[in-house]
Chain A
Amino acid sequence: MVAVRPRRLAWRLAEVVEVVPETPRTKSLVLEVPGWEGHKAGQHVDVRLTAEDGYQAQRSYSIASAPEDERLVLTVDRLDDGEVSPYLTDVLMAGDKLELRGPIGGYFTWEAKDGGPLLLVGGGSGVVPLMAMIRHRAVVSSGVPARLLYSSRSYEEIIYRKELENLAARDSLLEVIHTLTRSRPEGWSGYDRRIDADMLAEVAWPPDKSPLAFVCGPTPLVEAVATALVGLGHDPARVKTERFGATGG
């Protein structure tokens, strides 16, 4: 047997091309990454910050851009007590450099050839890797039916709201369903509670359509959604999850 020693994921110095505010708490970092070898929708990168005296801190962030996009985009949610995210959202500017390595994670990924129907369920910034899938699906003009069920605290905190609206408006096979858990604008007619089994029964395809589900968000949401999907009769092997707790990022 020939032992193949895989190449190390090297740290790369990316250049920040643009910092785009998405919501009051989230920003997208548009990066030029020399030598980037591409990624699959759903993967993440490790970001490493280094202080002048050599102190370092690392965290993981999901990739928001499609593999086909020219530039790598990370969308970062600002955690008030975080060490890394406030730097990325408040301090980092166009022209700065940012050290990262990746792509990482080979399970929570989707390519058009993986088929569907594609059921995406996200909470808060958990929508980021799902957005990479939605963008990839749009870029390659995939005919795989897709539904995004997306839980946000308020209308203002919906990340990518306009872009999702535009994508759904010109693609009858893409449906975006929002639920707002804390506050709703006047006249809101959508869901107004946390995602539960009843909501999933209405929104998800029935189990006999065998949807491929990706669920990403805070742990309680992911636990609730994944458990409800299995309870509705979906095959656990078709439910892929990615969770983030309060990890102080």
Chain B
Amino acid sequence: MSEGFFSRGFLGRRRRHDERLPPGQYLEDGFPVLSAGPTPHTPLEEWDFSIVGEVDEPKRWTWEEFRQLPSEEITTDIHCVTKWSKLGTTWEGVSVDTLLEGIETAAEYVTAFCEGDYTTNLPLEEITGGKAWVANAYEGEPLEPEHGGPARLLVPHLYFWKSAKWVRGLQLTSYDIPGFWESLGYHNYGDPWREQRYWGD
């Protein structure tokens, strides 16, 4: 629609252009916070994480049990749909592969569910095979509540809203159920490299 258009007098900053930056994103050094409501503060003794839905037997870990699981260190770039990207962030967490170990399922989708009824949906194959974690530390420190602590999903190859904060479990389903933002205009899949920000992108 606006082929050939340019913004009169706009030069741009072009600071540190980097091929690790997906289209339409800019580099951010800080760590902006975006959430739809108040930050929950669930005591660790009340926290649990469960795998439910189309599984033979649901699984559940208390915080203590979760912390006994083998943990991995992840260094990755993250991309928020609000345009900022942050390169080389480091996290610690439990691979979703570890959490799903021994689970038999015919499910092809997953709904990550969180404190405060927040959900996000993903194809199961996007969170298995070393692509996703339940992270409990950021840059060597326990994950702060405003960034999703005690634990958030980390799916760094998709826009960051898919890395649901305050995650409490995964529901495996045979069909795709759009989550919170996915029902409110944001893309169902959310690949930053294809700039899938909103419905129809």
Q: How far is the CB of A106 from chain B (nearest CB, A)?
A: 3
Q: How far is the CB of B83 from chain A (nearest CB, A)?
A: 6
> What per-residue 1/0 map shows which CB atoms of B158-197 lie under 8 Å from chain A?
0000000000000000000000110111000000000001
Number of A-B contacts (CB under 8 A): 130
Does A189 lie at the interface of the complex (its beta carbon under 8 Å from any beta carbon of B)?
no
Does A91 lie at the interface of the complex (its beta carbon under 8 Å from any beta carbon of B)?
yes
> What per-residue 1/0 map shows which CB atoms of B79-96 lie under 8 Å from chain A?
000111000000000000
Does B106 lie at the interface of the complex (its beta carbon under 8 Å from any beta carbon of A)?
no
Do the beta carbons of B12 and A83 come within 8 Å of each other? yes
Can you name the residue of chain A whose Cβ is closest to the Cβ of B183? A106
* Secondary structure type dominating chain A contacts: mixed
Residues of B near A96 (CB, < 8 A) are: 7-8
With an 8 Å Cβ cutoff, the count of chain A residues facing the other chain is 52
* Secondary structure type dominating chain B contacts: loop
Does A107 lie at the interface of the complex (its beta carbon under 8 Å from any beta carbon of B)?
yes
Does A153 lie at the interface of the complex (its beta carbon under 8 Å from any beta carbon of B)?
no
> What per-residue 1/0 map shows which CB atoms of A71-111 lie under 8 Å from chain B?
00000000000010001000100001111000011111000
Does B200 lie at the interface of the complex (its beta carbon under 8 Å from any beta carbon of A)?
yes
Given A51-B7, A247-B82, also A241-B38 (CB < 8 A): yes
A52 and B15 alpha carbons, distance in the complex (Å): 17
Given A10-B1, A83-B12, also A105-B185 (CB < 8 A): yes
Residues of chain B touching chain A, judged by Cβ–Cβ distance below 8 Å, are 1-2, 5-15, 24, 26, 28, 30-40, 82-84, 116-117, 146, 180-181, 183-185, 197-201
Residues of chain A touching chain B, judged by Cβ–Cβ distance below 8 Å, are 5-13, 46, 48-52, 54-60, 83, 87, 91, 96-99, 104-108, 219, 222-223, 226-227, 229-230, 236-237, 239-241, 243-248
